[in-house]
Amino acid sequence: MTYTTSLAKGQALREETLALIQYWEPGMDAETLAQAAVERNLLAKFTALRSLDIVKRIFAKRYLIDDAQPARVLKTLTELQASPRWITQVLLLYTTRFHHILHDYITQVYWPKYEAGAATLSRDDAEDFIESAYHEGHIETRWSATMRVRVARYLNNALVEFGYADDASGRDKALRTFIITPQMVVFLAYELHQRGVSDTHMLTHRDWQLFGLEPNDVYRQLDLAAAHGHLLIQYAGDLLRAEWTYSSLDHVLHALTR
pLDDT computed for residue 32 by the predictor: 97
CA-based nearest residue to 231, from 192, 177, 205:
192
Provide the 10 A C-beta neighbour count for residue 194: 14
CA-CA distance, 161 to 136, in Å (whole number)? Answer: 28
- Each residue of 201-240: pLDDT tens digit? 999 999 999 999 999 999 999 999 999 999 999 988 788 9
CA-to-CA distance for 17 and 37, rounded, in angstroms? 11
List, for residues 184-199, the tens digit of each pLDDT value. Answer: 999 999 999 999 999 9
| 34 C-beta neighbours (distance < 10 Å), count | 22
Report the predicted TM-score, pTM, of the whole model to 2 decimal places: 0.95
% of the chain residues with pLDDT over 70: 99
The answer to whether residue 78 scores a pLDDT higher than 70 is yes
* Nearest CA-CA partner of 93 in 257, 244, 213: 213
pLDDT exceeds cutoff 80 at 9: no
Write out pLDDT tens, residues 146-165: 999 999 999 999 999 999 99
Residue 1's pLDDT is 85
In the predicted structure, residue 84 carries a pLDDT above the cut 80: yes
**pLDDT at residue 10 above 80?**
no
**Residue 124: per-residue pLDDT:** 95
Q: How far is CA 141 from CA 144, 182, 234, in A?
A: 9, 41, 47
Would you say 38 and 25 are in contact if contact means Cβ atoms under 8 Å apart?
A: no
pLDDT of residue 236: 85
- The predicted pLDDT at position 28 comes to 97
Return the closest-CA partner of residue 72 out of 258, 252, 207.
252
Does the structure show a pLDDT above 80 at 81? yes
Mean pLDDT, residues 36-46 taken together: 93
Report whether pLDDT(168) > 80.
no
How confident is the model at residue 170, as a pLDDT?
Answer: 64
In three-state form (DSSP H/G/I as H, E/B as E, the rest C), the secondary structure along the chain is CCCCCHHHHHCCCHHHHHHHHHHCCCCCCHHHHHHHHHHCCCCCCCCHHHHHHHHHHHHHHHHCCCCCHHHHHHHHHHHCCCCHHHHHHHHHHHHHHHCHHHHHHHHHHHHHHHHCCCCEECHHHHHHHHHHHHHCCCCCCCCCHHHHHHHHHHHHHHHHHCCCEEECCCCCEEECCCCCCHHHHHHHHHHHHHCCCCHHHHCCCHHHHHHCCCHHHHHHHHHHHHHCCCEEEEEECCEEEEEECCCCHHHHHHHHCC
Q: What is the mean pLDDT of the chain?
A: 95
Distance CA 211, CA 15 (A): 21
pLDDT at 44 over 90: no
Parallel, antiparallel or unpaired: strands 120-121 and 239-244: unpaired
pLDDT confidence tier of residue 67, bands split at 50, 70 and 90: very high
Burial, 185: exposed, middle or buried (Cβ in 10 Å; 0-12, 13-18, 19+)? buried
pLDDT in tens, 90-134: 999 999 999 999 999 999 999 999 999 999 999 999 999 999 999
Report the pLDDT value the prediction gives residue 169, as an integer from 0 to 100.
61
| pLDDT at residue number 237 | 76
Q: How far apart are CA 45 and CA 51, in angstroms?
A: 9
